[in-house]
Amino acid sequence: MSISLGSAYLESAIKRAASYKLLGDYTFRQLEEKDFYYTPNDQSNSIAVIIKHMSGNMISRWTNFLTEDGEKPGRNRETEFTLQEHYSREQLIQQWEKGWACFLDTLRSLTADDLLRTIYIRHEPLLAIDAINRQLAHYPHHVGQIVYIGKMIRGKDWQSLSIPKGGSDQFNQKMKEQHGR
């Protein structure tokens, strides 16, 4: 069976997006509720704020992706960067999951033909493929912030989410054995 370039792209985008979500998930597992509110300084965002922003962005951008502007009238981006109330760990993770579900479900619903359709974000026309690429740059940026804050909080107790320092040779050998190359 032959796969089209567009289908391969969508499959890759979904795989990559899901891998970034997992980095956040694995970070959250290492944190206590209070850690979601840690900020290194006044100019930095806490993990709670980043979650609130990412979820707001995802829901706005990916709800009715092909038919409505990605900046929904009901979204107030500025309030995503302030916390009016204290959310529990469970509520924050629920927001995280809701945003990612909206994003990933929409990606899974797209076809190769949809990639060249024009969509709008803040009235700016974009090809759907460009809008996807835009978010594949935006969301990992914030996931990286989450991971970095988690590392600062956990210090020496941080459990690496990739190849731990000093573990490259061992990892490469394992991959070579698994893949026979």
Q: What is the pLDDT of residues 64-101, one digit of tens each?
A: 999 999 999 989 888 888 887 899 999 999 999 999 99
User: Is the predicted pLDDT of residue 1 greater than 80, yes or no?
Assistant: no
Query: Which residue type sits at 35?
Result: D
Using an 8 Å Cβ cutoff, are 104 and 18 in contact?
Answer: yes
Using an 8 Å Cβ cutoff, are 56 and 77 in contact?
Answer: yes
Name the DSSP class of 57.
H
Domains of the chain: 5-179 (1.20.120.450)
Using an 8 Å Cβ cutoff, are 7 and 112 in contact?
Answer: yes
Sign of the CA dihedral 77, 82, 83, 89? positive
- From the centroid of its chain, how far is CA 156? 25
